[in-house]
Amino acid sequence: MRQKVDINCDLGESYGHYKIGYDEQIMPHITSANIACGFHAGDPNIMAQTVTLAKKYKTAIGAHPGFPDIQGFGRREMKLSSEEVRNLVVYQIGALQAFTKASGMPLQHVKPHGALYNMAMKDALLAKAVVGGVEAVDSKLIVFTQTKSEMAKVAAKAGLRVAFEVFADRAYNSDGSLVSRAMAGSVIEDPKTVTKRAIEMVKERHVVAVDGKTIDLGEVDTICVHGDNLKAVALVRALRKGLEKAGITVTAVGKFV
């Protein structure tokens, strides 16, 4: 059976006059776009523009909700109640959903951003709040998460579809978590290295951690690349070409999950 995988990227993270990332150059090469919803980045104009760009290239769209922390780009941990987290997820999905509806595009998935994502991987109560927000808006939406995470367990228990995500351009710790961006080498920018890692992730279902330990990834449905990476355009281009050359079909996750 021919293997299939999705390539996703965090986009729409500019704000007002401040431009972040390379959305126009990256969008043609990915199959799913995680669009910022205004809390950690993005604004109504940027959201509309990014949805229009996704429609142009027939890229599947997902909401990318984060903590209300523009100054920290959503990468700082916040202590919020379950109700607050659920409501901020509902609010952000709803905001993007309005733009997709106005453009005649469906909303495919939800992927939490930054600290919200990382915390929900380990905290069952937080994961339940995030998943509860998704379920409240649309139980047909796919939840992007890592295998063996609390969010994967909670989403599956709620009956939601789950896409298991890996990070080809990020270094892993031996426990399966991502190496902190504060550490040197946490972000991998070499296209050849990223492509080689991605192929191994899909075909062999493992990745080598920074300490040399081989980590079992389990099922791999979607590969994340980061649009704010300095070499993101060359990276995503090489990644897609390399995966297809290896006999892996690159397509939106909604078509096979």
User: Contact at 8 Å (CB) between 151 and 121?
Assistant: yes
Per-residue model confidence (pLDDT) at position 124: 98
Alpha-carbon gap, residue 81 to 88, rounded angstroms = 11
- What element of type H or E holds 125? helix 124-137
Q: What is the rounded average pLDDT for all residues in the chain?
A: 95
Sequence spans of domains, the chain? 4-255
pLDDT over 80 (residue 97): yes
Per-residue model confidence (pLDDT) at position 1: 54
Alpha-carbon gap, residue 151 to 66, rounded angstroms = 15
Alpha-carbon gap, residue 100 to 82, rounded angstroms = 27
User: Contact at 8 Å (CB) between 222 and 7?
Assistant: yes
- Binned at pLDDT 50, 70 and 90, residue 181 comes out as confident
Q: Give residue-wise pLDDT tens across range 212-227.
A: 999 999 999 999 998 7
Does 232 or 107 have the greater pLDDT score? 107
User: CATH top-level class for 4-255?
Assistant: alpha beta
Relative to beta strand 32-36, strand 249-250 is: unpaired
- What element of type H or E holds 84? helix 82-103
pLDDT over 80 (residue 131): yes
User: Contact at 8 Å (CB) between 199 and 242?
Assistant: yes
Q: Mean pLDDT lowest for which of 3-17, 35-49, 117-131, 182-196? A: 182-196
Alpha-carbon gap, residue 21 to 226, rounded angstroms = 9
pLDDT over 70 (residue 178): yes
